[in-house]
A and B are shown apart, each in its own frame.
Chain A
Amino acid sequence: MKTRIWLVTALAFALTSPVFADKRGDAKARVEFGIIAAQKGLWTEATSVWERAVQIDDSYGQAWNNLAVGYEQLGKFDQARKAYEKALELEPGNNFIRNNYDQFREIYDRQNRRRDK
């Protein structure tokens, strides 16, 4: 019985782990590429690459953070808010994401305040 449990666990690990690693690895490569694009001011390209990264691995909080920053730079504030919230849901203790979000909220709230008028 113990051997069976061990076998099932090992099989599950063997099946899922490489897939997860590949997904994260693929998404991470795109995230890094997006960062290079953003550093050159190519926000449309960077955002598009990060959109693909979160499609590949939607549990990648850092990618959601970058995507949020990208949306913010393109003026897509509602999408940026959702992406930041997703990033914080995945990485609740990440102060970098929290700081980005706080700074974004100042602008977002100002924009929304004016829409009400």
Chain B
Amino acid sequence: MTARTAVAISSAVAALATVGCLNFYEIPVETPIHAKLDSSPFQRVLVAGFLSGGSKSIDPNTETARLLRSQLRTKSQMRVIDADAISLVDEVDKRNGTAPPPSDEPRIMTEKDLESYESIFTDAAFWKKLGEEYQGPLIVTGSVLFTEVSKQGMVSRPVSSVDQYGRPTVNEVRNFSSMKGFALAPKFVFIDGRTGAVLYSESFHEEALYQESQTTPALSSYFELMDKLLPGFLNTLSSQKIRGTRILLK
């Protein structure tokens, strides 16, 4: 009993000493990130539409235009113009005199297919004309490639167990696994609607992979991937704060 008490007291003393010696402080921080683009000359923004392709399970042009409009409405100071998303693929095909394909297969399936359509972004006359229709807003356009992917290989995952002393432990287990999912590769292009000039562009790439047995709807995966990219997109037009913690020392 005396020995137990002595152990308890010495543990308490040790704990107190540790607390007394604490010389670090975890503190919440909000690191400011400046906007990538000076959007002060514009009060309004037009999400024009996107070159899109890949999986035909969703329409990336319509979904992206809709999502970005809704995000810009709630998270930016700019007024969002209500307009239908232009099909830039049709626009380029019309210019090139390419007949629409007989089936509903997307015309852009790979990044290589996309390259031949991308010249539209540097067509200042086209964008200036579009800008004039809406009194010179900031135009958001770009490309969105949403493709199905599958991968095989070694995958490590944490497995929790209890050791012989009853303590919970986490071990890494590596298995050969087949995964499938989707990849999203958008490029956002910001165009001055008064001149038709490209002001800024940025590309992203994200993948979401799931166990082969798992059925994940394409649209749900699209939103999951866009969720990861949206802060980067929104930060083009407005400053943001990244929340985290830092340790202060003495």
Contact-residue bracket for chain A: 20 to 34
Contact: B246 with A75, CB < 8 Å? Answer: no
A73 vs B242: C-alpha distance when bound (angstroms): 10
A107 vs B240: C-alpha distance when bound (angstroms): 11
Residue of A nearest to B30 (CB): A73
Contact: B34 with A99, CB < 8 Å? Answer: no
Contact: B248 with A38, CB < 8 Å? Answer: yes
When distances are taken between beta carbons in the complex, the residues of chain A under 8 Å from B246 are 69, 72, 100, 103
Which residues 20-41 of B have a CB within 8 angstroms of A? 23-25, 27, 29-34, 36
Chain B contributes a number of interface residues (CB within 8 A of A) equal to 22
B202 in the interface (beta carbon within 8 A): yes
Q: Is the interface of B mostly helix, strand, loop or mixed?
A: strand
B112 in the interface (beta carbon within 8 A): no
Chain A, residues 26-50, CB within 8 Å of chain B (1/0): the string is 0010011011001100000000000
Chain B, residues 170-189, CB within 8 Å of chain A (1/0): the string is 00000000000000000000
Given contacts A39-B27, A107-B242, contact A65 B33 (CB under 8 A): no
Q: Is the interface of A mostly helix, strand, loop or mixed?
A: helix
When distances are taken between beta carbons in the complex, the residues of chain A under 8 Å from B32 are 73, 75
Chain A interface residues toward B at CB < 8 A: 28, 31-32, 34-35, 38-39, 61-62, 65-66, 69, 72-73, 75, 94, 96-97, 99-100, 103-104, 107, 110-111, 114, 117
Closest 5 CB pairs of A and B: A62-B249, A96-B247, A114-B36, A69-B246, A75-B32
